[in-house]
């Protein structure tokens, strides 16, 4: 069996050992080498031609974002998973890395005997496998239907969006293209751990015409605001037109879950709701899509041609409840068209 070749890049000797041990404990992958900074990394990439690089965000000599940009510039055939600390600087840099083309990121464990080591290991191993199998997962063929199931003339009063792997970059392209006065609120669930959604919301806000915030419990829903669900909390909209957060059990292994948002918003907005399922692994959002369509809303899924992982949009499509299949670069235009935004 061919093993997935992984290069571990981190300025901490302890972290290099922890991450290498995690990788080498799996039968289907191998840490082929280590590097202590971005410059050191390129010698090792030339030597080993790794399938995946785990790349520390904050390093001396050449940091993670500079190293990632150079990988993309050189068009190297390797996927990059960032490892980031939950710090103000670390989370902000991680958002930059995702926009610059990193496959995904994992929040770093805090030490060799940390309680979160096993959780981090499971997440890292899963993401290495996903990154390695990216092209196979994205190329699943589907039987296409006519993209419009009916004339879409509903008056839209709210937009809900769900995304996972590849979502930050996809959402950046969508949200930064929306006008300041869209005329409706937008609610987003992006699968992301605690500590990173604030940096994600801040980065979107600073680069968008429309206002973007990390949602808080009890926020009054306002038009022309994009609400990002905070990591670790399900986000729901209720009949009082306020945002409600909770720590009920994870759905599909995630919290926040797209289905929680979609189903709650469908009860409030009925046929005046527009839902969009973007790139990601798994089936979160499919059940919510069914509920939205049952209540007369409009449903969109991202076309497989632009997905990092064609999992969530495929699951939504396979419910038979999708109205439009749209590549990512056309999503914002469809939102504006369907909402009638200015």
The domain that holds 272 is classified in CATH as 3.40.50.180
More confident residue, 23 or 150: 23
Contacting residues for 282 by C-beta, under 8 A, at least 6 apart: 164, 252, 253, 254, 311, 312, 315
Residues 200 and 332 in one domain: yes
With a cut of 80, say whether residue 337 has pLDDT above it.
yes
Residue 137 lies in a domain: no
Tell me the pLDDT of the chain averaged across its residues: 90
Residue 139 has pLDDT above 50, yes or no: no
Overall size of the chain counted in residues: 342
Task: Quote the pLDDT of residue 90.
Answer: 85
Which listed residue (51, 85, 191, 219) is catalytic? 191
| Mean pLDDT, residues 69-83 taken together | 93
List 84, 164, 264, 301, catalytic entry = 164
Kindly state whether residues 60 and 115 are assigned to the same domain.
yes
pLDDT above 90 for 146 = no
Query: Among this protein's residues, is 234 annotated catalytic?
Result: no
pLDDT band at 86 (very low <50, low <70, confident <90, very high): confident
Range of the domain at 167: 158-339
- The CATH number that applies at residue 124 is 3.40.50.2300
Short-list 239, 237, 235, CA closest to 248 = 235
Give domain status of residue 142, yes or no. no
Query: Is the same domain home to 195 and 310?
Result: yes
Question: Between vectors from CA 263 to CA 147 and to CA 103, what angle results, nearest 5°?
Answer: 65
CA distance 252 to 121: 19
The 8-class DSSP code of residue 218 comes to T
Is there a single domain that holds both residue 168 and residue 202?
A: yes
Domain count across the chain: 2
- Looking at the structure, tell me whether residues 326 and 233 fall in a common domain: yes
Establish if 230 belongs to a structural domain: yes
Per DSSP, 85 falls in state: -
Catalytic residue among 259, 284, 303, 323: 284
Helical pair 88-99 and 64-73, crossing angle rounded to 10 deg: 10
Instruction: Check pLDDT > 50 for residue 138.
Output: no
Whether residue 314 is contained in a domain is answered as yes
Whether residue 239 is contained in a domain is answered as: yes
226 and 79 in a common domain: no
Residue 97 lies in a domain: yes
Residue 47 forms part of a structural domain: yes
Residues 190, 62 share a domain: no
Lowest average pLDDT, out of 146-150, 151-155, 237-241, 324-328, goes to 146-150
Pick 277 or 149 by higher pLDDT: 277
In a domain, 86, yes or no: yes
Q: Of 138, 98, 75, 147, whose CA–CA distance to 325 is shortest?
A: 147
Question: H-type helices in the chain, by residue range?
Answer: 13-24, 38-48, 64-73, 88-99, 117-132, 134-138, 167-175, 197-207, 258-269, 286-294, 312-317, 328-339
User: What does the alpha-carbon distance between residue 173 and residue 98 come to, in Å, rounded to a whole number?
Assistant: 12
Establish whether the linkage from the previous residue to 66 is cis, with ω within 30° of 0: no
Burial of residue 161 (CB within 10 Å: 0-12, 13-18, 19+) is: buried
How much is the average pLDDT of 34-57? 93
Same domain, yes or no, for 95 and 175? no
Residue 113 shares a structural domain with residue 211: no
128, 162: one domain = no
Banded model confidence at residue 116, pLDDT cuts 50, 70, 90: low
- Tell me: do 121 and 182 sit in the same domain: no
Answer yes or no: do 275 and 227 share one domain: yes
């Amino acid at each position: 069996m061919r093993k997935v070749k992984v290069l571990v890049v981190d300025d901490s000797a302890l972290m290099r050992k922890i991450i290498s041990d995690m990788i080498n404990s799996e039968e289907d992958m191998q840490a082929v080498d280590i590097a202590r900074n971005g410059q050191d990394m390129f010698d090792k990439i030339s030597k080993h031609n790794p399938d995946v690089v785990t790349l520390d965000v904050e390093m001396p000599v050449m940091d993670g974002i500079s190293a990632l940009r150079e990988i993309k510039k050189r068009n190297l055939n390797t996927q990059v998973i960032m490892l980031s600390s939950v710090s103000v600087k670390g989370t902000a840099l991680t958002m930059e890395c995702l926009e610059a083309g990193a496959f995904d990121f994992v929040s770093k464990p805090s030490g060799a005997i940390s309680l979160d080591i096993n959780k981090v290991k499971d997440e890292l191993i899963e993401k290495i496998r996903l990154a390695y199998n990216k092209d196979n997962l994205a190329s699943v063929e589907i039987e296409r239907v006519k993209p419009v199931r009916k004339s879409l003339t509903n008056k839209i009063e709210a937009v809900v969006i769900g995304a996972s792997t590849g979502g930050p970059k996809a959402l950046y392209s969508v949200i930064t293209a929306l006008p300041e006065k869209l005329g409706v609120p937008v609610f987003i669930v992006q699968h992301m751990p605690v500590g990173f959604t604030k940096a994600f919301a801040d980065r979107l806000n600073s680069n968008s015409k429309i206002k973007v915030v990390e949602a808080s419990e009890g926020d009054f829903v306002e038009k022309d605001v994009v609400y990002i669900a905070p990591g670790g909390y399900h986000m729901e909209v209720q009949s009082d037109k306020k945002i409600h957060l909770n720590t009920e059990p994870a759905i599909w292994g995630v919290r926040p879950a797209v289905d929680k948002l979609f189903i709650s918003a469908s009860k409030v907005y009925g046929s005046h709701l527009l839902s969009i399922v973007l790139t990601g692994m798994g089936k979160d959002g499919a059940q919510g899509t069914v509920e939205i369509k049952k209540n007369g809303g409009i449903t969109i899924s991202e076309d497989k041609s632009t997905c990092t992982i064609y999992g969530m949009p495929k699951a939504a499509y396979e419910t038979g409840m999708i109205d439009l299949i749209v590549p990512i670069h056309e999503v914002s235009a469809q939102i504006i068209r369907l909402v009638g935004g200015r």
